[in-house]
Amino acid sequence: MKNVIEVKKLTKEYKNLKAVDDISFEVKEGEILGLLGPNGSGKSTTINCILSLLEFSDGKIKIFGEEMKPDSYSIKEKIGVIFQDVAVFEELTVYENIDYFCGLYIKDKTTREKYIEDAVKLVGLEEFLKFYPKQLSGGLLRRLNIACGIAHKPKLIFLDEPTVAVDPQSRNNILDGIKKLRDNGATIVYTTHYMEEVEILCDRVIILDKGKIIASGTNDELKELAKIKEKVSVELIDQKETLLDKVRTLKHVENVTLNNNLLVITYRKGTNNLGNLIDFLKEENVKYSKIYSERPTLNDVFLELTGKELRD
């Protein structure tokens, strides 16, 4: 696949702070790349440098094989940007807003009408075309924001936390729409703090922290970085005083906790941990109502790599 974005040795300094520190990566044609990181990690700075909204200190950026510059209008017209903060005109209706933003790039009226119709269907706003933004719920407003950013059918789309503070129905609608954009040929850079969205959507993930890339790969590749390989939970009916000490002696066990009859065991590695545990509980005559195994989630990996302390 061709590279739609090429970032080489990108650095952005603010006096004594390196917001982005010598990072390099590519985004392939037709993929959804998750760009993740805690607050202050350099995500927004990286995106703003790629879009030539910020002048960077060092490095090179190419989009569609061409060097990206502030006046690269032929490149910018192929890009759609949907920032976290909703940016629409309060005095225009839903239809008029989409028409305005689409009209910045598509001058032919017939073509523009078709593009607007496609955008409206994609985000499910058919029943709200005559509504003004102030009449819309938070979820509908975010769907309008997306429609305005993608109505001109850009080949490259940046989506910055598009599902923040929306209801589950709107969230599902937005995620389905993003999949359709990818299926229709768009390349997408996606930022979010919701790791389950990344697992659903993203073909590949880059994790930034303190301006550096600390991990990259597919979801499965990143999960292989986790120190904990398996977590088994057991809902106990009764328990013995010596149970925890005996469980800790089992092969590959990393940690054991017991809280309100919920026994949680984490394993460093190994296979058939669940089967071995079931055999052990049977031998010890331990009664339980439910037992289930979980592999590490992307959220587990993210916290393991970036730490659990609060960020500003």
Which of 225-229, 257-261, 284-288 is the least confident region? Answer: 225-229
Q: Which residues pair with 66 in a beta bridge?
A: 63
Pick from 58-62, 178-182, 208-212, 239-243: least confident: 239-243
Contact 207, 37 (CB under 8 A): yes
CA-atom Rg of the chain in angstroms: 24
Average of per-residue pLDDT across 30-56: 96
The answer, yes or no, to whether residue 311 has pLDDT greater than 80, is no
Closest of 94, 89, 99, 156 to residue 125, by C-alpha: 94
Task: Tell me the average pLDDT across 84-99.
Answer: 96
pLDDT, average across residues 245-271: 91
8-state DSSP, 199: H
Give 178's contacts (C-beta < 8 A, 6+ positions apart): 32, 159, 162, 188, 190, 201
The enclosing H or E element of 281 equals helix 273-283
The reply to whether domains 3-223 and 230-295 share a CATH topology is no
The span from the CA of 291 to the CA of 232, in Å, is 7
Q: What is the pLDDT of residue 224?
A: 86
pLDDT at residue 38 tops 90: yes
pLDDT tier at 165 (50, 70, 90 boundaries)?
A: confident
Q: Determine the pLDDT at residue 296.
A: 86
Q: Rounded to whole angstroms, how far apart are CA atoms 30 and 18?
A: 31
Q: What is the pTM of this model?
A: 0.87
Task: Work out the pLDDT band at 310, boundaries 50, 70, 90.
Answer: low
Q: Where are the domains of the chain?
A: 3-223, 230-295
CB atoms within 10 A of CB 176: 13
Cα–chain center distance at 96: 30
State the pLDDT at residue 15.
86
In this predicted structure, what is the pLDDT of residue 269? 82
What is the mean pLDDT of the segment spanning 124-139? 96
Range 55-85 burial, b when 16+ CB lie within 10 A, else e:
ebbebebbbbeeebeeebeebbebbbbbbbe
Q: How far, in Å, CA of 24 to CA of 14, rounded?
A: 19
Q: Taking residues 6-18, what's their average pLDDT?
A: 94
Please give the CATH number for the structural domain made up of 230-295: 3.30.70.100
C-beta of residue 24 within 8 angstroms of C-beta of residue 56? no
How large is the average pLDDT for residues 238-262?
A: 90
The pLDDT score that the predictor gives to residue 203 is 97
What would the CATH number be for the domain defined by 3-223? 3.40.50.300
| pLDDT over 70 at 22, yes or no | yes
Average pLDDT across the chain, whole number: 94
